[in-house]
Copies of this chain bind each other. A is one copy, B any other.
């Protein structure tokens, strides 16, 4: 019926996606409207028409990046059984999300949380909420693993979730610094150790026949 509304939504989606990619490198404050417009081949004011202010764009960017994160990390891990298997599935999906550079600057959340952690306001609040959701998910799956006896009761689930997230986050920074993926393996091995999982080296892709296990 109204083609303009449809086109507008598509533009907004493309802008938010481009913005998330840019923010993973330059930050949510460091990215500029001109930079986004140039990357998309549109005018700066078309972005300003879609999102009134830069803060509105930043909030939309956080929302889009959160969706991308959920799709890349959380959704795939839901195939694994609850408890320890799902925790390891989340960890492996997270490491692959970083290794595959779903965002060019590594994990969007790690980059923007440390950028905004000392800048109170709605952007920081949105990032903090996303972080709380991630930690809660990890913690709840750890708690299930602890109740079933697959994971040690010490440290408590919240603390272990904090530790796993810490190892992943710093591995992301180290990987960006060196463009080397060994920090990701280091983090994986440490997490496996802390979960009491044998430190089997991560399975390489394309060991199965094409289209095999899918």
Contact = CB atoms under 8 A, between A and B. Distances in A.
Interface string A116-146: 0111000010001001000000000000000
Contact of A169 (B30, B131, B169): B169
A165 interface: yes
A15 B173 CA distance: 28
Interface string A169-184: 1110110111000010
A25 to B, nearest CB: 5
Contact of A165 (B24, B110, B159, B170): B170
A177 B104 CA distance: 25
A82 interface: no
A190 interface: yes
A64 B178 CA distance: 24
Interface string A49-62: 00000000000000
B163 A190 contact: yes
B190 A128 contact: no
Contacts of A159: 186, 189-190
Contacts of A74: none
B119 A25 contact: yes
A107 to B, nearest CB: 10
Taken together, the copies of this chain in the complex come to 2
A22 to B, nearest CB: 11
Nearest to A165: B170
A39 to B, nearest CB: 16
Contacts of A115: 27, 111, 114-115
Nearest to A168: B166
A207 interface: no
A151 interface: no
Contacts of A24: 118
Given A159-B186, A169-B169, A177 B105 contact: no
19 contacts: A27-B115, A104-B118, A105-B117, A113-B173, A113-B177, A114-B114, A117-B173, A124-B177, A154-B193, A158-B186, A162-B167, A162-B170, A162-B174, A162-B186, A163-B167, A166-B166, A166-B167, A169-B169, A170-B170
